[in-house]
Structure 1
Amino acid sequence: MAEADYIVTSAHFPQDWTGEAGLADAILATAERLPAAHWLITTMGTRGAVLLERPPPAGTDPRTLPERTLEEILTAELGPQLEAARSGAAAAAVSPPVACVSASGVCIGAGEVAATEGYVRLAYTSGRDPSQAARQAQAAAQRAAALNGDPDRADSYRGSGSLASGTTTGVAAAATIAPGLVGRVTLASIADLPKDAVTDTTGAGDSFIGSVLYGLATGLPLPATLRLAAVVAACKCTELGARPGLPTRSQLAPALLHSTVV
């Protein structure tokens, strides 16, 4: 993965791979291990998805940008913005526009998206223990190696080291990352799907990733891609099995496939 341009992970992967105790710190540690990646998306199930974009526009001096923890951005800024948007719509009795109609007739609304205003220098939370994280990551690598029948190559499952420790492998650290990881953060909610319409979540993650690839291939803005992916994953959950619930293009609102949301 060290040379990957784009990364999509499940919720548990960053913590398993990096050994970080908190998800926000784990996302940062994952991004630092993968300096070639233009962006990193982490899905979080019913909590939505987090997008970390980099690098900032050419000519940006990282030292002039505000420094904040990713945890603070997600919990104190973007999370409340999403909640306010959803609560406001509910209070006004306004139903979200139908973004998809499943084969069984379930109407699905697109979720909300909130992003930081520009790029920020992202910091780890206070009290983080890098040594403990390293031990946890090593243990996870050993478990992964054993599960894959490759117990003597645990180091190959750890990936490149943290940029903070100066132990990157394969790809040189981008200058835009120093003196700290610089990124733009977007938080996307799940799609608006009635709880009683959920039949089977098998394949929801793959549906999400496939939709992200569609957005990447067609040039959709990343926030719009997140909304599309959430809707497709939700539609899949309305049917039993990994494939039956997947929508066709005709089931999706045209605006969802050609969105100009940024």
Structure 2
Amino acid sequence: MSRDCDSLPENTIVVGCGAAGVDFLATVATYPKPDDKIRSTSFKIQGGGNAGNALTCTARLGLKPRIISKVADDTQGREILHELEVDGVDTSFMAVSKEGTSPFTYIIVDSQTKSRTCIHTPGFPPMKPDDLPESNLLTALNGARIVYLDGRLHETALVVAHEAVKKNIPILIDAERLREGLDDLIKLADYVVCAARFPQAWTEASTVSKALVCMLLRLPNIKFVIATLGKDGCIMLERCVNEDPSAEEVVVDKLLESLEMRKNGSTHIPTCISSPVTKLHAEGIGTVCSRLYIGTAKNIPPSELIDTTGAGDAFIGAVLYAICANFEPEKMLCFAATVAASKCRALGARSGLPYRIDPCLASFMQ
């Protein structure tokens, strides 16, 4: 990643392929037990879906996102398109089926535990590569700075990914969980952002840090991989191309432990702690020349923490912006944590997404 930072990216076009739908969000005092009948304390209908949320985030930050997805020509589908367009997301590459249903998700937000439970219903008919004519794909990728794939619509996403590789457009993959077709996509990625459980699930390594080393070794094209850890922040492993022969070999778990001990007790402002370039060793896995980063999350008072739905999508949207703006890794992780925290102060995946001019982002946009 470039170490030079420009507050306004020269190339602002981001192409995303993945889920866009409708979220039905109900807040409850406590999560219901079986056969319970309870009332919601608040309710909201809002656009959702990983790709839809992350691209909305990039649009509010000033980028020009284009989305490849599919909805039906029903009330929900029309609202999905309208909401994206209002936020500045280009929907001209979306497929719209004359019949069927658009994707939607029921989300129960527990006010007591600050957790959310999602029940997703996929759209029908599902998106297939034939829904994306080659001419549309080529137009969508024209001038793109980066391609983002959320792991959904894997057959179409693979077509998009192969074309992006041909055009030397870098690819960021959202590895939220093990999904059909994800292995084929992740092999083509330049950047990977994972949910907390994914690295170990995918590699079967005993710790997250070992799993990240394993991912860099298995995926030689990856420039960095980030594991998001919710309120515990994130861990990032960045590949170092120019290996220093004199670099010391360090056990990755021990290095992570030493970085954790350097954390500042206060997390009101996100911080980032990094190691020097080193040869990181994972027992039974191997060694990779890389740099390890720990990013802290922004502390949100319980009274202000409303809903974590879409926090990961907000984080990814901010990472996409940071890549386009050539942020240094330390700045990128603090920026992404700030954007994700802002989202968590409102109900739904999009209500709290900050705009570029938001005061909380002023220090990053200078």
CA distance in 1, matches of 2:194, 2:274: 19
SS at match of 2:345: coil
SS of aligned partner of 1:214 = helix
Which consecutive segments of 4 or more residues in structure 1 shift more than 3 A?
none
- 1:38 matched to 2:223? The reply is yes
Q: When you count helix as a share of all residues, which structure comes out higher?
A: 1
Matched, 1:239 2:346: yes
CA distance in 2, matches of 1:216, 1:247: 18
Question: Which of 51, 62, 68 pairs up with 2:250?
Answer: 68
**Equivalent residue, structure 2, for 1:81:** 262
3-state SS of paired residue (1:17): helix
Larger relative CO (CA 8 A, sep 6+): 1 or 2?
Answer: 1
In proportion to residue count, which structure has more strand?
A: 2
Q: Does 1:186 align with 2:186?
A: no
Asked whether the equivalents of residues 56 and 119 of structure 1 are also in contact (C-alpha less than 8 Å), the reply is no
Deviation at 1:72, TM superposition (A): 1.0
Does the Cα contact within 8 Å between 1:110 and 1:230 map onto a contact in 2? Answer: no
Corresponding residue for residue 208 of structure 1: 315
Equivalent residues in 2 for 1:74-223, closer than 5 Å:
74-75=256-257, 77-82=258-263, 85-86=264-265, 109-116=268-275, 118-125=276-283, 180-223=287-330
C-alpha distance in 2, partners of 1:36/1:206?
A: 23
Deviation at 1:238, TM superposition (A): 0.8
- Counterpart-to-counterpart distance in 2, 1:185 and 1:195: 30
Structure 1 residue runs of 5 or longer lacking an equivalent are 88-95, 97-108, 131-163, 165-179
Contact 1:228 1:257 in 2 (8 A): no
TM-score by length of 1: 0.64
The count of residues paired between Structure 1 and Structure 2 equals: 180
Q: Deviations over 1:177-204 (max 9, x none)?
A: xxx3110111110013213211110000
Taking structure 2 as the reference length, the TM-score comes to: 0.47
- Identity of matched residues, %: 33
- Counterpart amino acid of residue 298 in structure 2: A
- Is 1:18 the counterpart of 2:203? The answer is yes
Please report the RMSD computed on the Cα atoms of aligned residues, expressed in angstroms: 1.8
Is the 2:335–2:361 Cα contact (8 Å) retained in structure 1?
Answer: no
Q: What residue is the counterpart of 1:254 in the other structure? A: 362
**How far did 1:56 drift?**
4.1
Larger Rg: 2
